[in-house]
Amino acid sequence: ATAAAAGMKLSGRVIACLPLLFVPAMPLTRSSLIDPPGVAMLVGGILLALAGLRSIERLIPSVPDEVEGSFLVASLLAMALRAGVGMRAALEVIATHGPPDVVEPLRRARRMTCLGCSWWRSLQLVEDARLAGIGWAVWRAESRGLPAADALEEWVRAAQEERAQEFEASVRRVPVLMVFPLTLFVLPSFFLLALG
């Protein structure tokens, strides 16, 4: 993912900066570079090239974080369950000292459990799709009489694979989306700087 994003960023920068190669060649024309049309074309071309560079870089997807909070929650919970810690005690500790991006939803889930809701149901009810996935994995395992730790580890593998596929899909869309900044910014920049 890092290599793909870096490669796209490099090729986008090279393509967007190609029109700027005309700028050092402008003195070779042996004409005045300070006349108003020449300055206007130079400034306009440079601004269009920079706008193209900026818009191309915004299209490139960012590399996903190494460890998402919900993946860490599910992995910690699976390890705690394998070590013999109960679901309630493990989630209490994770809700108190868990990853920052999921602490608030976990605290809401803990408040629901204090009102009598089961942990798996409270995880489904919080407005976090990943934590809801953890809740569904635990519910399916418990309803089938299977170890919840296995279900959680399988959920982490499936969620990580899904995230990787989403990133790959966004990477494949970038070359198609680059047509718009190339047409709107980079090609006019080529024209203006070449004319200048």
DSSP string, 7-26: HHHHHHHHHHHGGGGHHHHG
> Is-above-0.75 flag for pTM?
no
> What would the pLDDT profile of 94-145 be if each residue is shown by its tens digit?
878 777 777 788 888 888 888 888 877 887 888 778 888 888 888 888 888 8
Q: How far is CA 104 from the centre of its chain?
A: 21
CA distance 45 to 23: 9
> What would the pLDDT profile of 55-68 be if each residue is shown by its tens digit?
888 888 877 666 67
Tokens, residue 46: 């440079």
In degrees and rounded to multiples of 5, residue 21 shows phi and psi of: -65, -20
CB atoms < 10 A from the CB of 99, how many? 16
> End-to-end CA distance of the chain, in Å?
40
pLDDT band at 31; cut points 50, 70, 90: low
DSSP tag of 83: T
Q: What is the DSSP string of 25-47?
A: HGGGG-S-S-SHHHHHHHHHHHH
Across the chain, the runs of DSSP E, i.e. the strands, are none
CB atoms < 10 A from the CB of 136, how many? 15
